[in-house]
Amino acid sequence: MIVCITEKPSVARDIAQILGADRRQDGFYEGGEYCVTWTFGHLCTLKEPHDYTSLWKRWSLGALPMIPPKFGIKLIDDKGIKHQFDVIKNLMSRADRIINCGDAGQEGELIQRWVMQLAGVTCPVERLWISSLTDESIRRGFSELKPQSDFDNLYYAGLSRAIGDWILGMNGTRLYTIKYAPSQGTVLSVGRVQTPTLALVVERQRQIANFKSEDYWEISTKYRDTTFSLVSGKFTDQSKAEALMQSIASASLTITDVSQKTGKEGPKRLFDLTSLQVECNRLWGWSADLTLKLIQSLYEKKVTTYPRVDTTYLSSDLYPKIPGILKQMTPYANITAPVLAAKISKSKKIFDDAKVTDHHAIIPTGQSPSVLQGDERKLYHLIALRFIAAFYPDCTFNQTTVKADIAGNEFKASGKVIVNPGWRILFPDKKSNGENEDDTILPEFTIGESGTHEPYLETKTTQPPKPYTEGSLLRAMEGAGRLVDSEELREALKENGIGRPSTRSAIIETLFKRQYIRRERKNIIATQAGCDLIDTITDPMLKSAKLTGIWENRLRRIERGEYAPAEFLDQLKVMVNDIVTNVLSDNSARHILVQDRRKETTTSSKSESKPRSRAPRITKLEQITCPVCGQGHLLKGKMAYGCSRYAEGCSFRADFNTVAADLSPAKVNAAIKKIYKSQK
C-alpha cells in the first residue's frame, strides 16, 4: 500500500482523483494501491516548557534560561486533530511506501516530517514537489518523485527556525513579563522576528514625532508656458531668494542648450509574494494577511502557481510552456495575440535559473478563472496583466532637457515624450502603474532664442518620514530595516530580510492581535503598549533588524547545506544566556513599564494603603553546591531554592512543593541530588 499525505483535505481530493483513489473513507481516500490522507496544517508542535520538567511550569526568573537538552514534539491538544492523527498513524503503520505531498516549502516540509516522526514511520518516503495544482502538474510530479532525503536541509532549516523561535520567544517573554509587566496577567510578548518588526514601527513613529519642519524657498520661472527651475536648488534664507528674484526679474531668459536622448523602460518584474502584497496594499489597501489568503485560494483553485515564493524569475524549463499558458488565457486573447504573433524572447530579466531555487515567480497556470469571485477575480487580473506585460516590448521615449541662462543663473526644464508605449499600453490608468506625476511634453526650443519670462518664488516645508503602511513595512522587513525601491538591490537584500515571505503577514497580524500596533486608514501606528514594550527591552540584540536579518541569512544557508543547524542554535543559546544575565542584573528603575504603568494599576489612596512588606529574606546554604552549574551555592528564598549564580545565567530552581522549605540543609542536599539523578 502507498500512503500519500497532503497538507489540506482539498489537495488530498485533487490528488486522489488523479490517482484513482475515488472511495471516501473516514479521514482518507482509497483506491487501487493508494490511500490519500491529509493534515490540517500543523498537527504537531514543539513541546512546551512544562513538558520537559515540572520546574518550568511556573513562570520564574530562577528557571531562566530554559533550554532543553533535546527538543521534542507533541500532538496539538485538539479532538479533531487527535482523530485525524490516529487515522494517519494507522495508515502509515501498514504502508509499504509513503509519498510526502505537503506544500512545497519549508513550512510544508516541517509539518509533514513532524507528523511522520510522531507516527513512527519506518518505510521509504518519497517527496512530491510541484509548483501548481493543475492535473498536468500533479501527474508530472508523480512521474518525477524524489527521495525525501533530498529535502533534509529544507527540514533542518525549518526545524532550526522553530527551535530558535522557541528559545528566544519562551525565554524572552517570561523574562520581561516577570520582571517588568505592570500588572498580574499582563504578558510582554518577545519574539525573534516580532520584536525587531515592532521596533521598526516605533522608531519611525518617533522620527515623525520628533521631526522639526523647516521652511525653504525655490525659484522657478515660466517661459513659453514651460516651467524652468533654478539648477542651484533651494534656499534656506528667504531674503537671499527674494534678492535673486529681483535680480532676474528684468533680465531676459536665453536658451543655452537643448539635448534629447532616447530611453527605454522594461516591464515590471513578475510577482513574488512580498511584491504582490505590497502592490495590493497600494492599490486597494489590502492587508498582507488578506492578500496571502486570497493568493493561497487562487493556488488551491489551480489558477495560479505556488504563492509563498521570494523570487521574481522563472526557470528556463518553463520557457517552452509560456505560449501554451498564454493561449489558454482566453479571457485575455485580445492582449495575448500580439505576444503570440512573434517568437517570445527568452530574456534574462524573466528567465534566470540562478535566481530560482524551489519555486519560480507567481504566474497564471492557464486554467480558466471563471470559478473566481470578487477580490479573487481582482487579484487574478493583477497577476495576469503583470504576466502578459512581461512579454511585451519595452516602452520607448524621448527625454528632452532644455537649459537656459538668466543673468548668469542656470535654469533647466525637462520633459518626456512616449514614442512607443510598449507594455505600458496595458496600464492606461497611472495609479495602476504606480505613477505619481504626468509626463511633461515640451515645445521645440532653439539654442540662442531669448525672451521675457515670469519668475516666481515658492515657499515649501520639509516633510517628516511617512508612517509605515503594510506595504512599506513589508518592504522594510524584506530589506532588514531598509526601504529599497531598486529591484536589483531588493534581490541582493532578500537573504537578509526579517522573516520569510510566507511568515511576514502572520508577524504583522500577531502585532495587531497583541495590540502593539493599530491601523489608521492605510497607516500602521504603534500603540502606547507597543512603545512601552520597546522602551522596556533595553537589550539591542532583541530589537535589531540587522541582527535578525543575519539569522535569516544563516537559515537560508542551512537550507542550502552551507551552514550547520547546531551552530545557529548554539549562537542563539549564548545570546539568550547573555540577555537573561543582563536583565537579571539590571535593577534600575528606568523601565517605563515599571515606572509609569504601575501607577495606573494602583487603586487605593494613600490613607488606605498598607505598609509595604519587607523583601523576603534570603538564606544562604553555602554547604550545598548547585547541581546545575556546579559553581554556585544554594539560596533559600521565599518560595523556592535557587543558585547564587542566577545573575550569571544559572537556571537552577526548586520550588518548595518539590523540595520542602522546612527540611534541614542535609536533607535539602539529599533531595536535590535525588531529583537530578533521576532526570539524567
Q: In this predicted structure, what is the pLDDT of residue 649?
A: 60
> Where in the chain are the domains?
2-144, 161-209+467-597, 215-267+395-461, 273-389, 615-679
- Cα separation values, 176 from 202, 243, 528, 588, Å: 18, 60, 17, 14
Is 306 known to be catalytic? Answer: yes
CATH of region 273-389:
1.10.290.10
Quick check: helix, strand or coil at residue 26? coil
| pTM reported for the whole predicted model | 0.77
Q: Which one of the listed residues 180, 306, 380, 646 is annotated catalytic?
A: 306
Are the folds of 2-144 and 273-389 the same?
no
pLDDT band, residue 436 (cuts 50/70/90): very low
- The CATH architecture one would assign to domain 215-267+395-461 is Distorted Sandwich (2.70)
Most confident of 273-287, 422-436, 617-631: 273-287
Q: CB atoms < 10 A from the CB of 613, how many?
A: 6
Mean pLDDT of 185-204: 91
Residue 279, pLDDT score: 95
- Residue 392 cell numbers, joined: 511585451
> Which pLDDT value is given to residue 602?
36
- Say which residue the cell 486554467 belongs to: 367
* pLDDT confidence tier of residue 616, bands split at 50, 70 and 90: very low
Give the mean pLDDT of 516-527: 94
In the prediction, which pLDDT does 493 show?
A: 59
Cβ neighbourhood burial of 71 (10 Å; 0-12, 13-18, 19+): middle
Q: Residues 226, 443: contact at Cβ < 8 Å? A: yes
pLDDT at 285: 92
Read off the pLDDT of residues 438-490 as tens digits, 9 standing for 90 and up. 456 788 899 999 999 999 999 999 999 999 999 999 988 888 766 555 565 55
Identify the DSSP state of 437.
Answer: S
Rounded to the nearest 5 degrees, what angle is found at the Cα of 362, between the Cα atoms of 359 and 364? 120
Is CATH 3.40.50.140 correct for 2-144? yes
Per-residue pLDDT tens over the stretch 24-76: 999 999 999 999 999 988 899 999 999 999 999 999 988 999 999 999 999 99
CATH class of 161-209+467-597: mainly alpha
What pLDDT shows up at residue 546? Answer: 79
Instruction: List pLDDT tens digits, range 280-339.
Output: 999 999 999 999 999 999 999 999 999 988 899 999 989 999 999 999 999 999 999 999
542 against 489, higher pLDDT:
542
Could you tell me if 619 and 663 are in contact, meaning their C-beta atoms sit under 8 angstroms apart?
Answer: no
Section 250-267 average pLDDT: 94
Average pLDDT over residues 618-622: 66
Does pLDDT of 98 surpass 90?
yes
